[in-house]
Amino acid sequence: MATQVTQPVKTLERINAYTDFLRSEGIPVITGFAVEDLKTLELAPWARKGGRGAYVNLEGTGGTNDAYVSEIAPGGSLNPERHLFNGAPAACSPSPSMHTSSTSMQAACGQLAFFR
């Protein structure tokens, strides 16, 4: 009579690209329902930003309200970044002479709010 060997059913691990990205940044991810004082958060060196930082991902927001805290050393700065919103780079300049020569880029930059 043959003996049946049963093996445990393997389950697939859920992959979340955003969670993987957060881990790859190498800084703390603060979770919970509230943060008592942002000035007392544990910050760690953040290579991509060129400073120190932490992510703040509060519960109950469905992942739509995540944020980060960055520390800028006195007299220092963080690394520049570029972001895409609606297909237009948010690295546009308030000075039209500094925009790229691309007509579509100039049109897109004209629709963006500029922050100093």
What is the SS3 assignment for the chain? CCCCCCCCCCCCCCCCHHHHHHHHHCCCEEEECCCCCHHHCCCEEECCCCEEEEEEEECCCCCCCCEEEEECCCCCCCCCCCCEECCEECCCCCCHHHCCCCHHHHHHHHCCCCCC
**Among the listed residues 66, 1, 2, the one whose alpha carbon sits nearest the alpha carbon of residue 29:** 66
29 within some domain: yes
Predicted pLDDT at 10? 78
Predicted pLDDT at 86? 66
Domain that holds residue 91: 82-116
1 within some domain: no
38 within some domain: yes
**Domain identity same for 26 and 72:** yes
Instruction: Give pLDDT tens digits for 15-64.
Output: 889 889 999 999 999 999 999 999 999 999 999 999 999 999 999 887 77
Predicted pLDDT at 25? 96
pLDDT grade for 107, boundaries at 50, 70 and 90: low
Q: How many domains does the chain have?
A: 2
Q: Is the pTM of this model over 0.75?
A: no
5 within some domain: no
Q: Is the pLDDT of residue 85 over 80?
A: no
**Domain identity same for 67 and 87:** no
7 within some domain: no
